[in-house]
A and B are shown apart, each in its own frame.
Chain A
Amino acid sequence: MSRKSISRRGFLTATLAAGSTAPLVLPALARQYQGSEPWTPDVAMAPERATPAPAKFFSPEERTFIEAAVDRLIPKDEWPSATEAGVAHFLDGQLAGAFGRAESWYMQGPWEKGEDSQGFQSRLAPAPLYRAAIKAIDDHCGEKYGGRKFADLSSSDQDDVLKGLEKGDVKLKGVDAKTFFTMLLQNTIEGFFSDPVHGGNKDMVGWKMIGFPGARYDYRPYISKHNQKLDIEPVSVAGVDSFGAGTPSK
């Protein structure tokens, strides 16, 4: 290239506008931006909202298992349990959607177990993984606890089963116990602490329990308030009038 080529300035746009000697077809779906910053007011990309709709993914039996399991992971005390906080509802929506289908994950074979350091290697996306694991765990409980299902066990037996899954001691048919447990625990925590717009963390109880103000966006009044308990009311992206943290409620 030499300085001469600079005289081509505008060449591409000119040809695109006027057509050219070479047969020129514009890339169809690819978008082209030139000469300005594209901007559309008031069309902020809102999140997809979970709906209070009836079950999308879990069968009634599966739902019974899930409620029992997540209530051992986050049991009731002076604060609500996971199910009371909407975690089962959250999981139902997640598993029925893009996450359940592992839409953004690389899911091509060949499949090998690999080392821990190589991460998730299950050929099952989350939705089929949950489905297979719930059945396999209930089968395992049936064999070990005289025909009973996980949800029918005592709390301490349930904890034993969960610990067995966590450590990988319990062997399940067709599913890796540890892989499932890791996912279930992570998703349960997500359901308890994510924005209520996704269906869990009902009434923002997860946030209230710890003192997280949620979707607030302006904490400038609090920067210099060193070592003080702030007690800021949480807000959700689902609907608020003000994202400033305002003044403390107390």
Chain B
Amino acid sequence: MARKLPSVDVLIIGFGWTGAIMAEQLTAEGLQVLALERGVWRDTSTDFAVTNAQDELRYRYRGELFEEPARGTLTFRNSPTQTALPMRRLGSFLPGTNVGGSGVHWNGQTWRFLPTDFLTKTHNEQRYGPLAADMTVQDWAITYEELEPYYDQFEYLCGISGKAGNLKGVKQEGGNPFEGARSRDYPNPPMEMVYAPALFREAAAGLGFHPFPAPSANMSRPYTNPLGIGLGPCTYCGFCEKFACGNYSKATAQTTILPVLMRRDNFTLRTESEVLRILKDRSGKRATGVEYIDTEGQVWEQPADLVILASYILNNAHLMLVSKIGQPYDPATGQGVVGKNYAYQITSSVDLFFDDKYFNNFVGAGALGMIIDDFNGDNFDHAGLGFIGGGYIAQWTTNGRPIETRPVPDGTPKWGAKWKKAMRDSYLRSTSVATHGAVMSHRQNYLDLDPTYKDVYGRPLLRMTFDFTDNEHKMSKYLTDKATAIAKAMKPREFKVNGRDGHYSIVPYQTTHNTGGTIMGANPRESVTNKFLQSWDVPNLFLLGSGAFPQNAGYNPTGTVGALAYHAAKAIREQYLRAPGPLVQA
């Protein structure tokens, strides 16, 4: 039996990136806020010290920062005709557990989506005619212009290093000429480039493209954010993504919010507390709180007036389904919304091998690189190409960690004497060009509950049905061809193209950019939340994270995730608290 605890004003499920943002915003409003986190407390000096943080086996391969499939995972299949099987080990994506969530071990590549990305359906239909029948893309319920102040807010919280390309409509030399207008420049200048991105910049510019430094949450200089919290300059340690920063140089909840939030007496964090389900009252239209379990197996009922779901997209969708909130999506009929429009990212790369050039990739950082955006979104004419959307092409120099990053030329065996020699010859003298593409939503790509497999608490696992479609394959091929052209212009001895053909596989790491499943939209028939991330069905429930994306754009998600969280927080502070109830009439 669940034991009942005293009620709080606001209960936040999950204490990662978005949970911390919302907790800071609502405690500033004077509300009594409680966050429940399934993992443990972590801080930089104890848990990510520079004497331990750079251990490739421990963190990347034994996954000390990642969630453990043993406690709960998802099942996966490429199509509804297959039997989904459990993801027994992590692979394609690496969500986090513990305080700070996935934000602790992210790269920090911090993007805004393009204005046209928010109008995927109407913009593309207007320009190119009707879309493919099974493509279920929708417009966002919000525009770039509405979100701009909140992008700015997140970028200043983090101290993003970058160069504006469009200030209030005026193009800026050296920035991204395709980006939407920004109200002011980034808080910090771009990171200093190492050799590989510098070479990429030259080659890309030579081909007439528009290279610019990547927007980065690795500090290019010491920074004090608007909450008064200081970050130190990045030391290019090369143990950034999939690792925690030992230097207070990567923007995370720990480095940008917690020192202030944890001191507020109207905030409480309870760790090792895993939420099992969201509770509703009889009407089904009001969340009364949650049920959670502690490490002794005791189940508690925690009542609250307002519930914020911030447990990462996949857990958010799972909790909605097991709590029976909203109608589950059915791909056969197209009816229902929870689990609809799950999407991802499609990536590819070209490895370059040189005789006479040293890249020393171990001098790297999670978001260190040069980008071209010439083939992202609708920045180019798609007429006759047979696909919509696009992606960025980049030279990222993130790391030279030798278990993970060890390119060898085409035709090299995977082991043995020839491999060993090739590894030796290539390690310092290779680099790569990467593509990072959008995934449009599709009728048969969705999330629901698995009929067979259960988690340790006996709840059905989330089931993911997902494959790349014709649109992604054509788009990725197009991007890969452009990346190859730039690679050639960098004049390597030889190169190797790693295209993304065939079925999506859950095995190799690609990105932790899962999106959709609890999408936002204009009405309850086609979405789970309104533009303020407020549940249509249960107005005292808000859902943070990339689950809101109706389809995925060609960029990493967290800039937009952070902006949406601030936008939702403002609506709660300024509208919802005055008149609790739906903020948009259905």
Interfacial residues, chain A to chain B (CB-CB below 8 A): 1-3, 5-6, 8-13, 15, 20, 22, 24-25, 27-41, 43-47, 72-75, 77, 79, 98-99, 102-108, 110, 112, 114-121, 159, 162, 166, 185, 188-190, 193-195, 197-198, 206-207, 209-220, 222-230, 237, 243
What's the Cα separation between A162 and B414 when bound, in Å? 12
Q: Can you list 9 residue pairs at the A/B interface with Cβ under 8 Å?
A: A8-B8, A35-B263, A44-B49, A77-B417, A79-B424, A116-B507, A194-B56, A229-B428, A237-B52
Which chain B positions have C-beta within 8 A of A237?
A: 51-52, 54-55
Q: Does B403 contact A (CB under 8 A)?
A: yes
Once A30-B294, A121-B88, A211-B428 are accepted as A-B contacts, the answer to whether A1 and B262 lie under 8 Å apart by CB is no
Contact with A along B25-49 (1 / 0, CB 8 A): 0000111101000001101011101
User: Would A46 and B51 count as touching, CB distance under 8 A?
Assistant: yes
Q: Which of A20, A39, A98 has the most B CB atoms < 10 Å from its CB?
A: A39
What's the Cα separation between A194 and B402 when bound, in Å? 8
Once A1-B9, A30-B272, A31-B271 are accepted as A-B contacts, the answer to whether A47 and B453 lie under 8 Å apart by CB is no
What's the Cα separation between A43 and B34 when bound, in Å? 28
10 A-B pairs besides A34-B267, A44-B52, A194-B55 with CB distance below 8 A are A6-B9, A8-B32, A38-B43, A43-B46, A45-B47, A188-B415, A195-B57, A212-B400, A217-B237, A224-B192
User: Would B358 and A27 count as touching, CB distance under 8 A?
Assistant: no
User: Would A12 and B427 count as touching, CB distance under 8 A?
Assistant: no
User: Would A193 and B56 count as touching, CB distance under 8 A?
Assistant: yes
Which chain A positions have C-beta within 8 A of B73?
A: 106
User: Would A1 and B268 count as touching, CB distance under 8 A?
Assistant: no
User: Would B504 and A117 count as touching, CB distance under 8 A?
Assistant: yes
User: Would A24 and B5 count as touching, CB distance under 8 A?
Assistant: yes
User: Would B416 and A75 count as touching, CB distance under 8 A?
Assistant: yes
Nearest Cβ distance between residue A19 and chain B, in whole angstroms? 11
User: Would B453 and A10 count as touching, CB distance under 8 A?
Assistant: no
Once A29-B296, A108-B454 are accepted as A-B contacts, the answer to whether A223 and B580 lie under 8 Å apart by CB is no
Binds A, one of B78-86, B175-183, B557-565: B78-86
Which chain A positions have C-beta within 8 A of B269?
A: 32-34
Which chain B positions have C-beta within 8 A of A33?
A: 41, 262, 268-271
What's the Cα separation between A215 and B29 when bound, in Å? 44
For B402, the closest partner residue in chain A by CB is A193
Which chain B positions have C-beta within 8 A of A222?
A: 236, 360, 363
B424's partner among A27, A30, A209 (CB-CB below 8 A) is: A209
Q: Does B421 contact A (CB under 8 A)?
A: yes
For A98, the closest partner residue in chain B by CB is B62
Binds A, one of B150-158, B298-306, B325-333: B298-306
